[in-house]
């Protein structure tokens, strides 16, 4: 603005020309034509600059829209799982990942069997058998008793057969709240043969004990109706007996 004012001041300071002498009709027409051309040229430039500004504005708006779309649609890098680790960015995506077999740890051959680690074993060296119990029975007790059989021979009326009866007792068993024991009857081979021949019977029930195992000296059996009282833990004892826990030597 200062430059225009300075130019205007200098023009006004010039002496007033003699228009009739210095600007004849032809000169005035030429000046008029030049002014019209200048005005038309200025108007074209103004329109062109306006169009350019509009194009720039539209371009900036498009860029802003694309950027906003990218922000909303595409997740951030830190939120997107990367198929390559940061130290493997130079690896081509099409290549399959290499496997270092040296880093794979082989299974420990010395690890104990799960079944063995979850169980304990009662060993009876006197009669030659073992009995596997759950780990929860750790601290069990062995209670010794005896079984009695009554002869069925009238000539031997009153004679009795006897043998050992062992109870494996749960560690939580108390007199106030007894739990189901695991009873094991021990028969000699001759006694078991006589029982099978019904030469004697045990108890009032006409059911013989169930065989749990046998070695060359003894037969080990489960009393009939041993869980008739349905004490606490009888279901667990049934589950234990289903897994053939008694093994003979």
pLDDT digits (tens, 9 = 90+) for 11-30: 666 666 555 655 566 766 77
* Residue 222 confidence (pLDDT) above 60: yes
The pTM for the full model equals 0.54
Query: 71: which 2 tokens?
Result: 């922000």
Give the mean model confidence (pLDDT) for residues 30-41: 66
Return the pLDDT at 152.
Answer: 83
**Cα-flanking dihedrals φ and ψ of residue 108, to 5°?**
-75, 110
More confident: 23 or 90: 23
How far does the chain reach from its first CA to its final CA, in angstroms?
A: 120
Confidence band, pLDDT 50/70/90 cuts, at residue 74: very low
- 203: alpha, beta or left? (left if phi > 0; alpha if psi -120 to 50): left
* Residue 162 confidence (pLDDT) above 50: yes
Return the pLDDT at 142.
Answer: 98
More confident: 77 or 59: 59
Give the mean model confidence (pLDDT) for residues 216-235: 96
Confidence band, pLDDT 50/70/90 cuts, at residue 204: confident
Q: Note the pLDDT tens digit of each residue in 91-129.
A: 333 444 333 333 333 444 444 444 557 999 999 999 999
* Residue 208 confidence (pLDDT) above 70: yes
CA 105, CA 102: separation in Å to the nearest integer?
8
**From 83-87, 157-161, 165-169, 197-201, the region with the lowest mean pLDDT:** 83-87
Q: What is the mean pLDDT of the chain?
A: 74
Q: How many CA atoms lie within 13 A of 81 on its CB side?
A: 1
Return the pLDDT at 9.
Answer: 72
CA 78, CA 215: separation in Å to the nearest integer?
70
Using the structure block, give the residue that is written with the tokens 């059996």. 221
Strand, coil or helix: 58: helix
Return the pLDDT at 124.
Answer: 98
Buried-state track 203-214, b at ≥16 Cβ within 10 A, e below 16: eeeeeebeebbb
- Nearest residue to 182 via CA among 129, 239, 106: 239
* Residue 75 confidence (pLDDT) above 80: no
More confident: 119 or 4: 119
Query: 189: which 2 tokens?
Result: 């081979």
CA 130, CA 107: separation in Å to the nearest integer?
30
More confident: 127 or 53: 127
Return the pLDDT at 151.
Answer: 87
* Residue 34 confidence (pLDDT) above 80: no
Confidence band, pLDDT 50/70/90 cuts, at residue 166: very high
- Nearest residue to 189 via CA among 156, 221, 144: 221
Confidence band, pLDDT 50/70/90 cuts, at residue 207: confident
């Amino acid at each position: 603005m200062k430059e225009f004012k300075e130019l205007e001041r200098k023009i006004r300071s010039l002496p007033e020309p003699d228009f009739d002498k210095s600007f004849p009709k032809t000169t005035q027409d030429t000046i008029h034509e030049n002014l019209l051309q200048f005005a038309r040229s200025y108007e074209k430039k103004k329109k062109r600059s306006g169009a350019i500004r509009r194009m720039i504005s539209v371009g900036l708006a498009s860029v802003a829209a694309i950027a906003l779309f990218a922000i909303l649609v595409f997740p951030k890098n830190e939120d997107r799982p990367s198929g390559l680790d940061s130290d493997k960015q130079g690896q081509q995506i099409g290549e399959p990942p290499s496997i270092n077999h040296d880093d794979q740890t082989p299974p420990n051959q010395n690890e104990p069997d799960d079944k063995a680690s979850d169980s304990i074993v009662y060993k009876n060296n006197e009669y030659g058998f073992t009995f596997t119990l759950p780990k929860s029975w750790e601290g069990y007790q062995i209670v010794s008793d005896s079984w009695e059989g009554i002869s069925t021979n009238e000539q031997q009326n009153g004679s009795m057969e006897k043998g050992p009866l062992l109870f494996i007792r749960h560690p939580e068993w108390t007199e106030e709240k007894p739990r189901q024991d695991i009873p094991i009857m021990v028969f000699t081979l001759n006694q078991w043969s006589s029982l099978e021949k019904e030469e004697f019977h045990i108890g009032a029930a006409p059911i013989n004990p169930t065989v749990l195992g046998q070695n060359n000296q003894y037969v080990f059996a489960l009393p009939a109706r041993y869980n008739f009282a349905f004490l606490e833990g009888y279901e667990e004892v049934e589950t234990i007996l289903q897994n053939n826990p008694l093994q003979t030597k």
